């Protein structure tokens, strides 16, 4: 193949690789946050919070690269779609990093408080799924794998279910003020994990747009009537 | 037209999106070489249509079929049909001069007559038999292309003293003074600087509601900026015969062509990946 815009396409490729590295960093941060939470480890919480600087640095550099490519290269067709997708994915990954930081901060606030093993187990399960979802979304992006992208909402279902049941679990400890305080913080953690899953689904939507050229939101609990090819 | 009656150009141009020009299986040959082959395309009224494609794909040849400019090339042979509001432009008895009044043309290089600014417009009017108070018509045409304020004090001065951008706007004024239906533009900005180019592009949008415009351009970003519809032509190469023949690959809304083209050949061309 002859590529008369080799310099541009090489820069586009490097920018995408940069975003993939950012995805790994955001996933790693989330993983650290969940380990810190489960292990009740304040030191690991601090390390997780500090790791956000790395994700933010990726975010800022990617944003600048994308801006430059828009300004200087007038992208069109699949190049244009890739750049807009990179712009979206960049923001979603930055938010995933923030979710991890929020989890670490909440976990640090409750170190030493009594905890419910059931709630911890649920959160650990939810966190594991969210991490796998971010990984799957970025993998679908890397391989332009439409079927994998379409599978994300299904992966999200257990997170939504566990999140909805979180309040009942927390209220079981309502008689113990310290356990209740811990539970309320964990309810907030649950919400952060649920949001992380949503960001992964949003990334998958971008992958579908990149592959098909048509943007549509995947169906979710709030819009169950919107179906998705392949999973109806 | 001499023997073919068509509606008034101004009347027929009021329905945006109606078909004003249509080719069906159009093949144009120069001697034994086919320049374009089997092109079928509908040009819509009150829209700007861009024709893009690599050098030698037959863009200008196609454009010139729309007002029979290829008649001026002795070896040119046109097969298939080209219709204007349903009337075959190549039917015997159709007057090419009248065709060119209704379907005007603006060329790559500004080509004002070596006459005064006023005469550049009045001359064409007289050629087409329009008499009476030409001053009003000259002013109207110059105002339409936003040139009046720049030249109203110098109407008797030579058009050749104008800048390139002003000359090209004068040529557009000359084309619209005879009240055409369609304006064909063959690389109208390729000899102009970016500011003059921007003014022409802006002018095209101004004229769009009253005229159907077809523009051939090598500048893909210009096609993206100014047009509603884009046709992509490519050249099929016959290595044995050493010939190139233009074919229409894709014709669609401009935003579709530039965000999600339907044919991989279009995608390859506009993104710069070939082969």
User: pLDDT tens digits, residue range B224-257?
Assistant: 999 999 999 999 998 888 889 999 999 999 999 9
Mean pLDDT for A67-81 is 95
B194 touches chain A (CB under 8 A): no
Q: What's residue B241's pLDDT?
A: 83
What is the mean predicted confidence (pLDDT) over A114-121? 96
For residue B4, give the nearest of B83, B68, B105, B76 by alpha carbon.
Answer: B83
- Establish if B131 touches chain A: CB-CB under 8 angstroms: no
pLDDT band at B9 (very low <50, low <70, confident <90, very high): very low
- Asked if B273 is an interface residue toward chain A (Cβ–Cβ < 8 A), one would say yes
**Which pLDDT value is given to residue B236?**
94
CA dihedral over B253, B255, B258, B260, signed as positive or negative:
negative
Q: Does B55 touch chain A (CB under 8 A)?
A: no
Task: Tell me: pLDDT of B5 over 50.
Answer: no
The share of chain B scoring above pLDDT 90, in percent, equals 85
φ, ψ for residue B7, nearest 5 deg: -65, 160
Cα–Cα distance for residue pair A197/A131, rounded to 1 Å: 8
Place B4 in a pLDDT band, splitting at 50, 70 and 90.
Answer: very low
Burial of B59 (0-12, 13-18, 19+ CB in 10 A): buried
Looking at residue B238, what is its pLDDT?
A: 87
User: What does pLDDT average to over chain A?
Assistant: 93
CB proximity B260 to A under 8 Å = yes
Closest partner residue to B274 (CB to CB) among A4, A9, A74 is: A4
The interface residues of chain B toward chain A in range 62-121, judged by CB-CB distance below 8 A, are none
As a whole number, mean pLDDT of residues A42-55 equals 97
**Alpha-carbon gap, residue B240 to A15, rounded angstroms:** 43
pLDDT of residue A2: 86
Q: How confident is the model at residue A31 (pLDDT cuts 50, 70, 90)?
A: very high
- Closest A-chain CA to B255: A77
The helices-and-strands tally (H runs, E runs) of chain B is: 11, 11
Q: Would you call B270 and A77 a contact, using CB atoms and an 8 Å cutoff? A: yes
Q: What pLDDT band is residue B17 in, cutting at 50, 70 and 90?
A: confident
Contact A130, A30 (CB under 8 A): yes
Count of beta carbons in the 10 Å neighbourhood of residue A104: 31
Across the range A160-179, mean pLDDT stands at 92
Interface membership of A13 toward B (CB under 8 Å): no
pLDDT score, position A220: 56
Residue A80 is nearest to which of B259, B266, B273, comparing CB atoms? B259
Rounded Cα distance, A89 and A203, in Å? 6
Residue B133 pLDDT: 82
Q: In what order do the strands lie in the sheet with B87-88?
A: B87-88, B76-84, B19-30, B33-44, B243-253, B229-238, B48-52, B212-216, B182-186, B103-106
Q: A183-232: per-residue pLDDT in tens? A: 999 999 999 999 999 999 999 999 999 999 998 889 754 554 444 443 33
Q: Which of A7, A76, A78, A82 is the best residue to mutate to test the B interface, defined by the most B CB atoms within 10 Å of its own CB?
A: A76
Q: Which of B69, B66, B87 is nearest to B7 (CA)?
A: B87
What sections of B31-182 are H helices per DSSP?
59-65, 96-102, 117-127, 134-144, 148-151, 164-177
Minimum mean pLDDT range among A2-11, A215-224, B64-73, B78-87: A215-224
Residues of A (201-230) whose Cβ lies below 8 Å from B: 213-214
* Residue B266 with chain A: CB contacts under 8 Å: 77
Can you give the pLDDT at residue B6? Answer: 42
Range in A217-231, B87-101, B121-135, B240-254 with the lowest mean pLDDT: A217-231
Interface test with A, best of B222, B260, B261 (most A CBs within 10 A): B260
**A78 touching B (Cβ < 8 Å):** yes
So what's the pLDDT on residue B242? 84
Q: Which residues of B touch A69 (CB under 8 A)?
A: none
Q: How many Cβ pairs closer than 8 A exist between chain A and B?
A: 43
Residue A170's Cβ-side half-sphere holds a number of Cα atoms within 13 Å equal to 20
For residue range A88-101, list pLDDT tens digits in order: 999 999 999 999 99
Which residues of chain A does B224 touch, with a Cβ-Cβ cutoff of 8 Å?
A: 76
CB contact under 8 A, B273 and A9: yes
B182-186/B19-30 β-pairing: unpaired
Instruction: Please indicate if any CB of chain B lies within 8 Å of the CB of A71.
Output: no
Q: Is the pLDDT of residue B98 over 50?
A: yes
If phi > 0 it is left, if psi is from -120 to 50 it is alpha, else beta; for residue B53 that is left
What's the distance, CA A44 to chain centroid? 20
C-alpha of A109 from chain center:
23
> Band of the pLDDT at B14, cuts 50, 70, 90?
low
- Would an 8 Å CB–CB cutoff place B261 in contact with chain A? yes
Give me the percent of chain B exceeding a pLDDT of 70.
95
Distance in Å, alpha carbon of A19 to nearest chain B alpha carbon: 22
Burial class (CB in 10 A: 0-12, 13-18, 19+), B122: buried
* A4 vs B: CB within 8 A: yes
Q: Which residues of B touch A78 (CB under 8 A)?
A: 267, 271
Q: Do A77 and B274 touch (CB under 8 A)?
A: no
Q: Is the pLDDT of residue A76 over 80?
A: yes
Cα separation, A158 vs A192, whole angstroms: 15
| A28-57 mean pLDDT | 97
Please tell me whether residue A110 adopts helix, strand or coil conformation: coil
Q: Measured between CB atoms, does A76 come within 8 Å of chain B?
A: yes
Q: From the list A3, A81, A213, which residue is nearest B272 (CB)?
A: A3
- Enumerate the β-bridge partners of residue B82: B23
Nearest CA in chain B to A211: B260
Return the closest-CA partner of residue A94 out of A53, A144, A130. A53
pLDDT at residue B275, rounded to an integer: 56
pLDDT value of position B30: 93
Mean pLDDT lowest for which of A73-77, B91-95, B265-269, B270-274?
B270-274
Q: What is the pLDDT of residue B249?
A: 98
> How many alpha carbons lie under 13 Å from residue B14 in its C-beta half-sphere?
5
The overall longest dimension of chain A from CA atoms, in Å, is: 72
Q: Which residues of A touch B267 (CB under 8 A)?
A: 77-78
Q: Select from A3, A5, A213 the Cβ nearest to the Cβ of B259.
A: A213
Q: What's the average model confidence in pLDDT over A17-30?
A: 98
Kindly state whether A1 is in contact with chain B, defined as any CB-CB distance less than 8 angstroms: yes
């Amino acid at each position: 193949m002859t590529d008369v815009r080799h310099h541009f396409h090489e820069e586009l490729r490097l920018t995408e690789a940069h975003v993939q590295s950012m995805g790994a960093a955001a996933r790693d941060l989330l993983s650290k946050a969940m380990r810190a939470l489960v292990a009740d480890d304040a030191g690991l919480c601090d390390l997780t919070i500090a790791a956000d600087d790395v994700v933010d640095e990726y975010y800022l550099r990617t944003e600048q690269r994308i801006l430059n490519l828009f300004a200087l290269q007038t992208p069109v067709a699949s190049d244009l779609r890739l750049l807009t997708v990179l712009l979206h994915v960049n923001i979603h990954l930055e938010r995933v990093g923030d979710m991890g930081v929020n989890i670490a901060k909440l976990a640090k606030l409750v170190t030493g408080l009594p905890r419910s093993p059931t709630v911890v187990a649920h959160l650990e399960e939810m966190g594991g799924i969210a991490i796998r979802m971010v990984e799957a979304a970025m993998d679908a992006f890397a391989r332009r794998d439409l079927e994998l992208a379409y599978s994300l909402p299904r992966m999200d279902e257990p997170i939504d279910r566990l999140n909805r049941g979180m309040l009942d679990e927390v209220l079981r400890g309502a008689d113990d003020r310290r356990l209740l305080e811990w539970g309320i913080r964990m309810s907030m953690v649950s919400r952060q994990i649920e949001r992380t899953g949503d960001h992964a689904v949003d990334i998958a939507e971008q992958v579908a747009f990149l592959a098909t050229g048509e943007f549509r939101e995947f169906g979710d609990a709030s819009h169950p009537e919107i179906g998705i090819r392949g999973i109806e | 037209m001499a023997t073919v009656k068509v509606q008034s150009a101004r009347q027929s141009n009021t329905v945006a999106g109606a078909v004003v020009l249509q080719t069906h299986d159009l093949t144009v040959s120069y001697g034994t070489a086919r320049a374009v082959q089997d092109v079928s395309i509908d040009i819509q009224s009150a829209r700007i249509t861009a024709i893009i494609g690599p050098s030698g794909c037959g863009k200008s040849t196609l454009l010139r079929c729309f007002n029979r400019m290829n008649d001026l090339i002795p070896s040119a042979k046109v097969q298939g049909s080209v219709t204007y509001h349903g009337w075959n432009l190549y039917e015997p008895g159709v007057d090419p001069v009248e065709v060119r009044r209704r379907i005007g043309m603006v060329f790559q290089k500004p080509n004002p007559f070596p006459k005064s600014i006023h005469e550049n417009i009045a001359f064409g009017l007289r050629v087409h038999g329009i008499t009476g108070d030409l001053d009003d018509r000259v002013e109207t045409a110059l105002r339409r292309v936003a040139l009046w304020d720049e030249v109203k004090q110098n109407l008797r001065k030579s058009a050749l003293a104008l800048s390139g951008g002003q000359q090209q706007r004068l040529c557009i004024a000359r084309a619209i003074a005879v009240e055409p239906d369609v304006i064909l533009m063959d690389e109208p900005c390729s000899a102009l600087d970016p500011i003059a180019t921007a003014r022409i592009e802006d002018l095209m949008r101004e004229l769009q509601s009253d005229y159907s415009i077809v523009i051939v351009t090598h500048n893909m970003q210009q096609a993206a900026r100014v047009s509603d519809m884009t046709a992509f032509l490519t050249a099929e190469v016959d290595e044995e015969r050493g010939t190139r023949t233009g074919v229409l690959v894709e014709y669609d809304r401009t935003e579709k062509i530039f965000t999600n083209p339907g044919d991989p050949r279009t995608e390859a061309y506009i993104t710069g990946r070939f082969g």
